[in-house]
């Protein structure tokens, strides 16, 4: 069961976006999104399936003609490439969250490309405008936007969306989150699985039907629990959130184990359940506003998440690709936090979807050479 479960989860992480454009009937049930700051519960409650564009090492010639270099991350180039090569013609919608300037600009670009006739056939392109400020006005605004998105998705799906449908989707997604947390817990004190292997299994939570995900993730956790813990320096990956396991693999090729990552596709993407309250739209809005890990999450919230993730990490790798405009500003605070915890770190500048550059690999080797040999108990 476990090998099959792992294979299925891995396939569910890798395949859905890649397979778009091959089966029109299947595509019609899909909503393509650029980052998991959109409540997938709404998509599922509308009877649709969420699919995420993520970074890949495949070229994007069509996208490169309309997106300025150095501004858009790989995942958005992949999304625009798919849009321009008519692979998204049949999907129900493209939804971009306001989780970063590039995501928002991608929304505007897609609409403009359609208006100018450059993107010949696009499905509806929607924006989910989520504010991260934590005050009453922002909470009300977010709840309103969440209701608006729910109505649009329901309209596209041709069905009525009741609050009970959304509540049910939340309960179901929380079961998947619990299973993901169980899987992630096997990385903490004595890692039973390499980071490059587990990230796809955790990241699949966003795309797999929740009950199925819970079954697969629990089966995987059952199989992994008796394993002998892995040796090697324990590394946390932070900085710009990664959406592929490629950087993990590069770090682990140097003999380390990636035990956590500050990314919604890793363990901290499912660390907290959505509350089940009278108003499920407000609950979703509140959850995604505080839990979404993206470029607009306030720095204090991000630092708290990073602090909580450090655990037994012996070294930290910060991803700082060229297109970042936000996370690099956290560096002084991150450096200070890590210094307080006596954890060494390094900064990698390559595109995390393409693997480590030679210079990045050398930085990882130097880092691991300087990391303490054994986990130490550190104060919080």
Beta carbons within 8 Å of 75's beta carbon, 6+ residues apart: 34, 35, 52, 53, 54, 55, 243, 353
* Smaller CB separation from another protein, 104 or 354: 104
Of 44, 54, 87, 98, the one binding another protein (CB under 8 A) is 98
Of 15, 68, 164, 307, the one binding another protein (CB under 8 A) is 68
Beta carbons within 8 Å of 68's beta carbon, 6+ residues apart: none
Applying CB under 8 A, the span of 127-135, 165-173, 181-189, 304-312 interacting with another protein comes to 127-135
Applying CB under 8 A, the span of 3-11, 82-90, 94-102, 208-216 interacting with another protein comes to 94-102
Applying CB under 8 A, the span of 61-69, 165-173, 358-366, 371-379 interacting with another protein comes to 61-69
Applying CB under 8 A, what is the total number of residues that bind another protein?
46
* Smaller CB separation from another protein, 108 or 359: 108
Of 299, 308, 339, 359, the one binding another protein (CB under 8 A) is 299
Question: Per-residue string for binding with another protein, 269-298, x by CB under 8 A?
Answer: --------------------------xx-x
How many angstroms separate the Cα of 250 from the Cα of each of 59, 196, 225, 368? 20, 9, 25, 13
Q: Give residues 156-185 in contact with another protein (rule: CB under 8 A).
A: none
What is the H or E stretch that residue 31 is in? Answer: strand 30-33
Q: Are 176 and 183 in contact (CB under 8 A)?
A: no
Helix (DSSP H) and strand (DSSP E) numbers for the chain: 15, 8
Shortest Å distance, C-beta 117 to another protein: 13
Q: Give residues 301-360 in contact with another protein (rule: CB under 8 A).
A: 320, 322-326, 328-332, 335, 347
| Distance in angstroms (rounded) separating the CA atoms of residues 293 and 207 | 17
What's the order of all strands across the beta sheet hosting 125-128?
49-52, 30-33, 93-97, 125-128
Of 2, 57, 58, 133, the one binding another protein (CB under 8 A) is 133
* Smaller CB separation from another protein, 146 or 207: 146
Q: Kindly report the CA angle at 199 between 183 and 244, in degrees rounded to 5?
A: 165
Of 60, 100, 292, 312, the one binding another protein (CB under 8 A) is 100
Applying CB under 8 A, the span of 53-61, 141-149, 194-202, 260-268 interacting with another protein comes to 141-149
Neighbours of 286 (CB within 10 A): 19
Closest among 197, 203, 195 to 13, alpha carbons compared: 203
- Residue 303 DSSP SS3: helix
Phi/psi of residue 172, nearest 5 degrees: -65, -45
Per CB under 8 A, 122 contacts another protein: no
Q: Which residues bind another protein (CB under 8 A)?
A: 66-68, 70-71, 98, 100-102, 104-105, 107-109, 111-112, 115, 126-127, 129, 131, 133, 135, 137-138, 141, 144-145, 295-296, 298-300, 320, 322-326, 328-332, 335, 347
């Amino acid at each position: 069961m476990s090998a099959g479960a792992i294979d299925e989860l891995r396939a569910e992480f890798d395949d859905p976006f890649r397979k778009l454009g091959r089966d029109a009937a299947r595509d019609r049930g899909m909503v393509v999104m650029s980052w998991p700051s959109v409540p997938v519960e709404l998509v599922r409650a509308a009877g649709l399936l969420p699919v995420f564009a993520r970074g890949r090492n495949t070229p994007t010639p069509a996208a490169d003609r309309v997106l300025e270099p150095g501004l858009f991350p790989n995942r958005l180039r992949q999304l625009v490439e798919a849009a321009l090569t008519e692979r998204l013609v049949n999907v129900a919608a493209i939804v971009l969250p306001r989780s970063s300037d590039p995501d928002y600009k991608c929304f505007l670009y897609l609409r403009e490309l359609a208006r100018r006739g450059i993107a010949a056939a696009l499905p509806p392109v929607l924006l989910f405008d989520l504010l991260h400020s934590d005050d009453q006005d922002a909470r009300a605004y977010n709840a309103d936007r969440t209701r608006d998105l729910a109505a649009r998705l329901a309209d596209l799906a041709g069905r009525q969306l009741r609050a009970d449908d959304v509540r049910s989707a939340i309960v179901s997604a929380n079961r998947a989150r619990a299973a993901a947390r169980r899987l992630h817990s096997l990385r903490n004190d004595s890692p039973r699985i390499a980071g490059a292997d587990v990230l796809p299994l955790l990241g699949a939570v966003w795309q797999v039907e929740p009950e199925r995900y819970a079954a697969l993730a629990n089966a995987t956790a059952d199989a992994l629990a008796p394993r002998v813990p892995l040796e090697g320096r324990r590394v946390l990956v932070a900085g710009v959130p990664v959406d592929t396991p490629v950087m993990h693999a590069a770090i682990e090729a140097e003999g380390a184990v990636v035990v956590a990552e500050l990314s919604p596709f890793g363990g901290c993407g499912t660390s907290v359940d959505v509350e089940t309250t009278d108003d499920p739209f407000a609950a979703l809005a509140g959850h995604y506003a505080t839990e979404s890990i993206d470029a607009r999450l306030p720095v204090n919230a991000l630092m708290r998440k990073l602090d909580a993730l450090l655990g037994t990490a012996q070294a930290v790798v910060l991803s700082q690709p060229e297109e970042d405009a936000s996370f690099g500003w956290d560096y002084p605070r991150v450096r200070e936090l890590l210094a307080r915890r006596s954890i060494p770190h390094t900064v990698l500048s390559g595109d995390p979807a393409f693997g480590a550059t030679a210079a990045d690999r050398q930085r990882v080797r130097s880092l691991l050479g300087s990391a303490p040999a054994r986990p130490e108990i550190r104060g919080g």
